[in-house]
Copies of this chain bind each other. A is one copy, B any other.
Amino acid sequence: MMNNPTFDLSTIGEGQIRLTVNRGERLMSARSVRMNPACSEANVAGLLSQLGRKTQWSSSLPDGDLGEYVLSEYRSVGVNMDAMIRKPGGRMALYFMEPGEAPMPANVIYDREWTPFRATGIEEYDWDTIFDTKILFLTGITAALTDTTAQVVRYAADEAHKRGIDIVLDVNFRSKLWDGEHARRVLEPIAKMAKVLFCSISDARKVFGIEGSAPDVCKAIRARFGNEYVVSTNHLDGPYLCGPNGFTSYVTTPVPIVDRPGAGDSFVSATIHGYLSGDIKQGVAWGQKASEFAITHMGDLTRIRPDELHIPLGSDINR
């Protein structure tokens, strides 16, 4: 790791736009939809930034208003974009969402193919800027898009590993993007380099074929990949933290849902905030609170005041 890197966390992922049907309406007769920027990796950076951390996000987005639309959201909370790639033309990744009041399920229509990000190769990224960081944050979503993005993720991991930067990987398996075996082949080498690995109990089974009780699965992941910490969510059970000082189980309280997307990213982000503060155990508890708060307001990026979590600001942390 560089001495005194500029950023606490760097990440790479595709910016998207979400179009959401209003409460009580159906997509097939809607006359207006809410619109908001989205990006799992940028959500993690954006929440950390609000908690006082220095973060940056690299993506590859089409020129023009739709790209600018996504950037300005994350820029507004202070995420650095010096390593952002803009492409002339090309379409924006989109998704439509009908939230679905219970018991009606949410309906998501993805429309994220044929975008520039999918074809942006290793040689186009500004790696020196990206690697000027304590943590490199990667997800299975980006690795899943195309062979090209899988290569980008792998290169980032290999090179960060070489440079002594902490790798944090969120497996985040999406069955609509790839299958478990494919995911395993791509993610396994990266998982082995990860200092902190986020892998849900169900993803552990689907991607890595690890079965058993939830605590056992969490421990088995750590045993298999040798991570310092493994954090596993498990729907309404858990989450679990497994690290050098043993295993911790947390209790999740279900909360009413206003807007679901982004809750998982908030969990990851606040957990990383704890890790950066030297207390990931506390971080997971912050993560629970952050994800609870995330679903009470609209948008993929969680908007939060640091004092809402009763957590120390990045700049206040004694190290």
Q: CB within 8 Å of B: which residues of A?
A: 19, 23-36, 64-66, 68-69, 72-73, 75-78, 91-92, 94, 96, 98, 100-104, 107, 109, 111, 113-114, 253, 255-256, 258-259, 292-293, 296-299, 303, 305, 308
Tell me the minimal C-beta distance from A110 to chain B in angstroms: 9
Copies held by the complex: 6
Known: A25-B297, A114-B113. A34 touches B31 (CB 8 A): yes
Complex formed: what's the CA distance from A193 to B255 in Å? 47
Q: Kindly report which residue of chain B lies nearest to residue A27, judged by CB atoms.
A: B65
Q: With CB as the reference atom, state the residue of chain B lying closest to A34.
A: B32
Inter-subunit contact A68/B28 (CB<8 Å): yes
- When distances are taken between beta carbons in the complex, the residues of chain B under 8 Å from A109 are 64-66
Please report the C-alpha to C-alpha distance between residue A35 and residue B103 in the assembled complex, in whole angstroms. Answer: 25
| Contact in complex: B66, A303 (CB < 8 Å) | no
B26 touches A297 (CB 8 A): yes
Which residues of the partner chain B approach A101 to less than 8 Å between Cβ atoms? 256, 258, 296-297
Contact between chains at A28 and B75 (CB < 8 Å): no
A158 to B10 alpha-carbon distance, docked (Å): 41
A19-B33, A64-B305 are known contacts; what are 19 more A-B pairs with Cβ within 8 Å? Answer: A24-B258, A24-B297, A25-B298, A26-B297, A26-B303, A28-B68, A29-B72, A29-B299, A32-B35, A65-B98, A65-B109, A72-B76, A73-B76, A91-B111, A94-B111, A100-B296, A101-B296, A103-B253, A104-B308
Q: Which of B23, B30, B35 contacts A258 (CB 8 A)?
A: B23
Taking the nearest CB of chain B, how far is it from the CB of A32, in angstroms?
A: 5
